[in-house]
Structure 1
Amino acid sequence: MAEAGFMAMRGSGAGGRVLAIGECMIELALGADGLYRKGFAGDTFNTAWYLRRLLPAAFDVAYLSGVGDDAESQAMLAFMAGAGIDTGFVRRVPRRMPGLYMIRLDGAERSFTYWRDTSAAKELAADPAHLEAAIDAADALYFSGITLAILSPAHREALLARLGRAKADGRIVAFDPNIRPRLWADKAEMCAAIEAGARAASLSLPSFADEAEAFGDASPEETAERYLALGAAEVVVKDGGGPALVAAGRTRLAVAARQVEDAVDTTGAGDSFSAAYLAARLCGREPADAARSAHGLAGEVVRHRGALVEGIETIAAIV
């Protein structure tokens, strides 16, 4: 598995700082008792949370985002710190507050209702010096299409330009397109931004169902080829409970998913998959092995309610 693209993505396992970029929100998740439980979650934050539990102590996991000056923002920061995530690059934005979302379940499938108009995370790239310092301090970076969607066009352009320079410097820049059409003004803007994100990334982790709807891809193979053409060295196409397609250079690997018969909530499945895959690659493991670990973790996460599953140290041992 010594394709140049794979070798370029392989980490040493020696440590370093991984910086996730995006929005953490207040989560209201329905419990088995019919009551809603408050927590904190969000796509890139979920990945950071799992990364902290999967990576050796030699790695630092940090978050670049924004919070307000209210009590819930302080509670969110305390939750991040308690999870072992470095909050030094979380901006404090006066008169803003965290966004909020509610999860509704239909069987194991979830849908979301959001309240995020005044979200402080929308200002995460508003300070050029802060943005520069955060990215300069990272050895590997992770962002998503939701990260791009919540930013103004000017801030989005600034973030992508800086990520592109990090990629050019040889750092790992991982991107989950995580396409959410309702967050965008129109499809043209959404597709252009997702493609710009892909160009800034060295590792892309698209989901086939999203890509088929947004870009008309007929197969995971078509999705993989499109992201490779946009400049990724390595692409992992997730396909729900189907195989993940790993592609780089001339190599194509279909890695079967773990079959789960007792799924109760798919919230966080893709985020945990990305965390396990990236953690394995940063520790020097091969793509096929990394994909198996990613499937294993995601398969365990969907057996529990909510995006963040406590006791992940036990789960890490089985993946």
Structure 2
Amino acid sequence: MSVRPDILCIGSVLWDVIGRSDLAMVAGNDKPGRISRIPGGVALNIAMTLRRFDLTPALISVVGRDAEGHALLAECGQMGLVTEHVLIDPDLPTDQYMAIEARGDLIAAIADAHSLEAAGARILAPLGDGRLGDHRAPWSGLIAIDGNLTEALLSEIAESPAFAAGDLRIAPASPGKAERLKPLMGHPRATLYVNCEEAGLLTGTAPDTAREAVNAMLAAGARRVLVTNGAGSAAFGIDKEVLVCDPPRVDARRVTGAGDTFMAAHIAAEARGVTPEDALKQAVKAAADYVSG
């Protein structure tokens, strides 16, 4: 029997291949460390964190009909994630992401989400064919969407009746994909989660702080926005109100997935009905805990 999810997580579901070293590194270095392969991708990272907060997420994405795809869906199922709506494509390989981190800093990364881009709107079929909604009764709950989707598909989502009743939570995935979110900037039901650099790219500004970035995003038409700034303050803004929260000082041991953890923790806190100030504090603490390992 199908499980009714608490939130839909739309976007990248892939394997993370991450090399971490305790030694300082720069481009061109060859240093000892550890290499791991774990389930990842923005949508999946958000879903995994939401599950730890006792929510039941459903994944909306694509994997290949290959060994990597079967293994990935099996791991997701073991974690309690709803995978029945994931498109399994026999002609596409399962996506992957590769990163190198040193002393808690990201040295370099490559995201191969070409299968997600190639699948396009086909991954959204469950929102229109009755499984998760249709044009008469669209999905009315939480929906997390990541910027690994193409700008064309994000533009379609911005105008689609299938998303007209949802509580949309949007993340760009990386600064290189931030501008893909422009079609959703002014969506009346969207909350955007970005860092300072991504906010600058979306607004044509150069904010130094999360507060400045929030103000720039609101001025550019965003309805609700949260901004992180690495080890600096995070901020939440709606209308003309801005809240700021300083993170605890921690020793960084990992960075890949920190923004996804922040976003998921904030969504989970708001789902529990806490105040905006407490939701921001809980998200900041969850991200700090994650970074510290």
Q: Would you say same fold, with TM above 0.5?
A: yes
Q: Please state how far the C-alpha of 1:16 moved relative to its aligned partner.
A: 6.0
3-state SS in 1 of match to 2:72: helix
Matching residue within 174, 180, 198 for 1:210: 198
> 1:258 is matched with which residue?
248
Q: Please state how far the C-alpha of 1:27 moved relative to its aligned partner.
A: 1.3
Percent pairwise identity? 24
Matching residue within 74, 91, 95 for 1:78: 74
**5 Å matches for 1:260-279?**
260=250, 262-279=251-268
2:171 counterpart letter in structure 1: D
1:288 counterpart letter in structure 2: E
In structure 1, distance between residues paired with 2:5 and 2:111: 35
Runs of 4+ with >6 A deviation: none
Cα RMSD for the two superposed structures: 2.6
Q: Please state how far the C-alpha of 1:108 moved relative to its aligned partner.
A: 0.9
Shift in alpha-carbon separation, 1:120–1:39, aligned structure 2, 3 A: same
Q: Please state how far the C-alpha of 1:20 moved relative to its aligned partner.
A: 0.8
1:6-58 deviations in Å (ceiling 9; x for gaps): xxxxxxxxx96201110112111225673422111011210111011113xxx
**TM value normalised by structure 1:** 0.76
> 1:315 is matched with which residue?
none
Is 1:61 matched with 2:60? Answer: no
**TM value normalised by structure 2:** 0.82
Greater fraction helix: 1
Q: Please state how far the C-alpha of 1:115 moved relative to its aligned partner.
A: 6.0
Shift in alpha-carbon separation, 1:40–1:110, aligned structure 2, 3 A: same
1:185-236 deviations in Å (ceiling 9; x for gaps): xxxxx63x32212233521112113323563233434432343355544221
Between the two structures, name the one with larger relative contact order (CA 8 Å, sep ≥ 6).
1
Shift in alpha-carbon separation, 1:298–1:180, aligned structure 2, 3 A: same
Name the count of aligned residue pairs: 271
**5 Å matches for 1:223-238?**
223-229=213-219, 231-238=221-228
1:202 counterpart letter in structure 2: A
In structure 2, distance between residues paired with 1:275 and 1:128: 21
3-state SS in 1 of match to 2:121: coil
In structure 1, distance between residues paired with 2:50 and 2:244: 24
In structure 2, distance between residues paired with 1:102 and 1:128: 26
Q: Please state how far the C-alpha of 1:114 moved relative to its aligned partner.
A: 2.8
In structure 1, distance between residues paired with 2:36 and 2:13: 16
> 2:24 is matched with which residue?
none
3-state SS in 2 of match to 1:271: helix
**5 Å matches for 1:1-319?**
17-30=6-19, 34-55=33-54, 59-114=55-110, 116=112, 118-120=114-116, 122-126=118-122, 129-133=125-129, 134=132, 136-137=138-139, 139-145=141-147, 147-148=148-149, 151=150, 153=152, 155-162=153-160, 166=163, 168-169=164-165, 171-181=166-176, 191=179, 193-200=180-187, 201-213=189-201, 215-219=204-208, 220-229=210-219, 231-260=221-250, 262-304=251-293
In structure 2, distance between residues paired with 1:204 and 1:128: 20
1:301 counterpart letter in structure 2: Y
2:103 counterpart letter in structure 1: G
In structure 2, distance between residues paired with 1:228 and 1:120: 30
Q: What are the ranges of 5 or more consecutive residues in structure 1 without an aligned counterpart?
A: 1-14, 184-189, 305-319
